[in-house]
């Protein structure tokens, strides 16, 4: 029996295609609810995931189109370089600001599904790096929905499910092979009228509006955050520290959003880029000094030429120091040690650490 008050939202990153294929292959043709999928991909990606999923199983998969009506038994995939947002009965495809350095990002989809479907939202976090999706899954859980994580020991890249398990009271932790049967069972009955835990609805509303391309200030960003000492790596505006959830999260006035983990990753990239820029500037300066020194020699101004050659040698020494720093510098750690230690196959059971229910 179909129950229209459910939706399944799935987030994946590195290693996600094979897991999504496994799920699609095991879902029945009469699967009763829509499924929305975000897979991190490059903006120039050809967007062939729907074709892969359609071939893998009986359900039709398509790239979501703005205004698509949600239909049961259909898989909707976020197109390249677009967020996918759930509205009542429909989908919205947007060019909203990146979250956690991605567009499409998982959090906007999960957050909007929680807002619209409440206890009927079922969020699934699969394999992937860093922690996109954790904040969205937390919102799903806060508004009464069901939170599921792939077993990290079963994930090719365990970071995303590990972060979800660490910060969200997930309901199920299962390997990829068990996800489709679990979804079939969960969608076979109406959503339970669970009482959501305390939550600030304003946070959800504001962040969904931002993902749907509304000006963040007009959407109410300044009411849900306070200025931090950090700058946005993307646009260099001031980041506001958001007040909700168990994670450190930030947004700028432009709308770019980061968890603490994704912000550290972006800062690491900025540092490396800045160091390479310094090397380029020093080496270009060295070449220009040598070039001018040659002209001075030709005009018989030997003293000035010698001075410029000495300064060129100094510029080369400085660039060599920075180049050595680049090759030896350890980036800031972006994964907590306890998450790294739980990533191995010896840690398949985590009953003491999480609220776990076996399917």
**Structure tokens, 285:** 């300066």
Radius of gyration of the chain (CA): 25
Annotated catalytic residue 295: no
What's the DSSP call for residue 192? Answer: P
Annotated catalytic residue 132: yes
The answer to whether the beta carbons of residues 108 and 211 sit under 8 Å apart is yes
* Annotated catalytic residue, options 40, 167, 203, 256: 40
**Do the strands 172-174 and 146-150 form a parallel or antiparallel pair, or are they unpaired?**
parallel
151/71 Cα distance (integer angstroms): 29
* Annotated catalytic residue, options 13, 112, 159, 319: 13
Residues contacting 302, CB < 8 A, separation 6+: 296
* Annotated catalytic residue, options 68, 107, 131, 132: 132
With residues binned 3-state (H G I as helix, E B as strand, rest as coil), the percentages for the chain, rounded to 5, are 45, 20, 40
CA angle 22, 26, 27 (to 5 degrees): 120
Peptide bond into 193 cis (omega under 30): no
Closest CA to 91 of 61, 59, 65: 65
> Any idea which residues carry the catalytic annotation?
13, 40, 132
């Amino acid at each position: 029996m179909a129950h229209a008050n459910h939706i399944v939202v799935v987030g994946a990153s590195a290693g996600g295609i094979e897991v999504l294929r496994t799920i699609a292959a095991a879902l029945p043709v009469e699967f009763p609810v829509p499924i929305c999928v975000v897979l991190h991909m490059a903006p120039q990606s050809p967007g062939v995931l729907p074709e892969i999923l359609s071939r893998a199983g009986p359900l039709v998969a398509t790239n979501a189109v703005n205004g698509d009506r949600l239909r049961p038994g259909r898989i909707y995939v976020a197109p390249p370089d677009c967020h996918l947002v759930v509205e009542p009965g429909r989908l919205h495809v947007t060019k909203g600001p990146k979250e956690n350095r991605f567009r499409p990002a998982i959090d906007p989809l999960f957050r909007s599904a929680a807002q619209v479907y409440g206890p009927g939202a079922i969020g699934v976090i699969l394999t992937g790096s860093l922690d996109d999706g954790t904040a969205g899954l937390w919102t799903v859980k806060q508004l009464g929905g069901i939170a599921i994580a792939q077993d990290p020991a079963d994930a090719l890249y365990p970071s995303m499910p590990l972060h979800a398990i660490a910060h969200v009271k997930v309901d199920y932790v299962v390997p990829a092979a068990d996800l489709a049967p679990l979804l079939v069972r969960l969608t076979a009955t109406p959503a339970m009228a669970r009482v959501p835990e305390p939550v600030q609805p304003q946070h959800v509303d504001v962040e969904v509006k931002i993902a749907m391309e509304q000006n963040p200030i007009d959407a109410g960003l300044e009411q849900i955050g306070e200025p931090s000492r950090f700058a946005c790596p993307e646009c260099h505006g001031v980041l506001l520290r958001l007040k909700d959830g168990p994670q450190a999260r930030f947004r700028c006035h432009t709308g770019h959003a980061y968890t603490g983990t994704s912000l550290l990753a972006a800062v690491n990239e900025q540092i490396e880029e800045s160091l390479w820029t310094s090397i380029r500037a020093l080496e270009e300066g060295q070449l220009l000094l040598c070039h001018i020194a040659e002209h001075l020699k030709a005009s018989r101004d030997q003293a000035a030429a010698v001075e410029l050659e000495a300064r060129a040698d100094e510029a080369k020494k400085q660039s060599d120091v920075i180049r050595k720093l680049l090759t030896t510098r350890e980036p800031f750690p972006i994964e907590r040690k306890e998450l790294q230690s739980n990533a191995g196959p010896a840690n398949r059971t985590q009953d003491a650490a999480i609220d776990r229910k076996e399917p």
